[in-house]
């Protein structure tokens, strides 16, 4: 068990939101669980916007659900902070990095170089493996470190890390969050869905300056941005295109669920709040930026971009929830929060991570209108299992966050455990084809498709 950090409760301001107006239906019937991941979301940014009525979906859930600060993973033994692929894998496994083995965006390959980390490097069972082993339907969409897509009872729309396109070309080869890329194999499970979903891809090049400005900036993007700003806008365009692609895939799969039935558990992930917070923080808090002056018009326009990223993902959440015909249990979480980065000299990292992420749970069996002490991201997977009536592995590093649930629910649903999920999931792995990680063939193929520039 990792030690809980102290009560760093910026989230106490949540109590100042308008009072609870309706309690969720407290039925104990099995319900869908939706895990909605927002990379880098932070209560300190969200709460003021909620109070201004700018995040209606999140505000509604906060009023009728239970909120807490979600503490990210502590730094590794080398003192380095944990990055998103590591943290999202912990959220989906209930295991610390030493157990799950995903340490970074990249991993060593056999020839002594590096390559993007792939799903087959994960050493332990994930929620989608666990549900599959029990014949329970699961859907996974955009979650980090899910390419190649694993065989599941349900669907996987994986997160392919596209930065190999420019691998080895210095600055430009830094990782970008994953997306669907036409022509890359094994991105979708079941495989016959891949052509359908590729057709839904929103290509970054198709997102016009006008669309981007309408969504994320207060001003037209301008014909001739500085190189720094152009790089940041590029990240904005990429991440929105990826989010829009996954949202389109979500709605398609809601209408055409593989097997004809929607999953009991869906895990979805959206990257743009993180990507935009890194790049546009300095325009929002120009006093924290020490590496050269920023233009007044840039501050006026791009100063709204971080807020706009929150509003944008709140819109995604609203549209996703509008699909539900019956009450759904929703778990909204981030892998870490965000703060200014005074030490930065890179324009793309004027904002940086802080350990305080967010968690908001809402729906049948979840306490209403509560604000709890901070929890840990390592507790997410066991909490989801408990909500689905599945046992917790005794080898987990986290535990179910029972304080999210009502007394009635707790009384009616005993927490169960098994020694380990690994023995249940191992037979699935043995039957699965060994999938090659990124190799020369794929690189060549991408080159032929014009992705390698």
CB of 349 to Zn ion, least distance (A): 9
At 452, give phi and psi (nearest 5°). -95, 110
Q: Would you tell me how many other CB atoms lie within 10 Å of the CB of residue 397?
A: 22
Number of residues located near Zn ion, criterion CB under 5 A: 1
Pick 264 or 307: Cβ nearer Zn ion:
307
CB of 40 to Zn ion, least distance (A): 5
335 binds Zn ion (CB under 5 A): no
Q: Per the structure block, which two tokens stand in for 441?
A: 């063939």
Pick 274 or 314: Cβ nearer Zn ion:
274
274 binds Zn ion (CB under 5 A): yes
340 binds Zn ion (CB under 5 A): no
Pick 274 or 362: Cβ nearer Zn ion:
274
How far, in Å, CA of 148 to CA of 168, rounded?
22
Q: Which stretch binds Zn ion (CB under 5 A): 10-18, 271-279, 376-384, 386-394?
A: 271-279
Q: Which stretch binds Zn ion (CB under 5 A): 156-164, 210-218, 272-280, 434-442?
A: 272-280
How far, in Å, CA of 212 to CA of 297, rounded?
17
3-state secondary structure string across 19-45? CCCCCCCCCCCCCCEEEEEECCCCHHH
Pick 187 or 341: Cβ nearer Zn ion:
341
Burial label for 306, CB within 10 Å (0-12, 13-18, 19+), is buried
CB of 278 to Zn ion, least distance (A): 6
The beta strands (E) that lie in 305-407 are given as: 329-333, 337-340, 351-354, 356-362, 370-371, 375-376, 392-393
Pick 274 or 307: Cβ nearer Zn ion:
274
CA-to-CA separations, 68 to 74, 94, 337, 394, in angstroms, rounded: 18, 18, 12, 25
Q: Shortest Cβ contact with Zn ion: which residue?
A: 274
CB of 377 to Zn ion, least distance (A): 14
Do you know the residue count of the chain? 453
Q: Which stretch binds Zn ion (CB under 5 A): 22-30, 201-209, 268-276, 319-327?
A: 268-276
Pick 186 or 274: Cβ nearer Zn ion:
274
Pick 176 or 180: Cβ nearer Zn ion:
176
Q: Per the structure block, which two tokens stand in for 157?
A: 């729309």
CB of 200 to Zn ion, least distance (A): 26
Q: Which stretch binds Zn ion (CB under 5 A): 180-188, 273-281, 368-376, 419-427?
A: 273-281
Write the CB contacts of 438 (distance below 8 Å, at least 6 apart in sequence).
115, 116, 118, 164
Binding site for Zn ion (CB under 5 A): 274
């Amino acid at each position: 068990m990792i030690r809980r950090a102290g009560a760093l409760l910026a989230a106490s301001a949540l109590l100042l939101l308008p009072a609870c107006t309706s309690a969720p239906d407290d039925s104990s019937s099995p319900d869908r669980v939706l895990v909605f991941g927002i990379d880098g979301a932070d209560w300190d940014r969200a709460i003021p916007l909620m109070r201004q009525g700018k995040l209606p979906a999140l505000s509604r859930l906060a009023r009728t659900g239970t909120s807490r600060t979600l503490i990210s993973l502590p730094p590794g033994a080398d003192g380095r902070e944990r990055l998103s692929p590591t943290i999202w894998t912990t959220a989906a496994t209930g295991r610390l990095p030493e157990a799950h083995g995903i340490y970074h965006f990249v991993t060593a390959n056999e020839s002594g170089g590096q390559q993007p980390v792939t799903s087959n490097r994960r050493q332990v069972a994930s929620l989608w493996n666990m549900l599959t082993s029990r014949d329970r339907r699961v859907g996974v969409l955009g979650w980090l470190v899910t390419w190649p897509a694993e065989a599941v009872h349900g669907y996987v729309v994986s997160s392919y890390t596209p930065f190999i396109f420019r691998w080895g070309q210095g600055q430009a080869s830094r990782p970008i969050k994953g997306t669907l890329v036409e022509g890359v194999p094994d991105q979708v499970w079941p495989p016959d869905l891949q052509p359908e979903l590729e057709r839904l891809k929103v290509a970054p090049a198709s997102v016009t300056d006008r669309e981007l400005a309408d969504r994320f900036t207060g001003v037209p993007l301008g014909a001739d941005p500085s190189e720094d700003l152009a790089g940041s806008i590029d990240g904005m365009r990429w991440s929105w295109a990826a989010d829009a692609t996954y949202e389109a895939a979500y709605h398609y799969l809601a209408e055409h669920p593989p097997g004809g039935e929607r999953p009991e558990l869906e895990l979805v992930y959206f990257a743009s709040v993180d990507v935009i917070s890194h790049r546009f923080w300095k325009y929002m808090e120009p006093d924290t930026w020490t590496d050269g002056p920023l233009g007044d018009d840039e501050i006026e326009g791009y100063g709204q971009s971080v807020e706009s990223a929150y509003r944008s993902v709140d819109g995604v959440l609203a549209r996703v929830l509008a699909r539900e015909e019956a009450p759904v249990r929703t778990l909204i979480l981030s892998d870490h929060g965000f703060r200014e980065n005074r030490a930065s000299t890179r324009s793309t990292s004027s904002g940086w991570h802080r350990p305080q992420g967010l968690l908001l749970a809402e729906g049948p069996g979840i306490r209403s209108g509560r604000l709890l002490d901070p929890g840990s991201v390592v507790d997410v997977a066991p909490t989801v299992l408990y909500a689905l009536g599945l046992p917790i592995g005794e080898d987990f590093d986290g535990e179910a966050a029972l304080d999210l649930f009502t007394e009635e629910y707790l009384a009616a649903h005993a927490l169960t455990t098994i020694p380990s999920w690994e023995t249940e999931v191992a037979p699935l792995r043995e039957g699965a084809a060994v999938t090659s990680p990124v190799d020369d063939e794929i690189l060549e193929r991408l080159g032929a498709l014009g992705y390698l520039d």
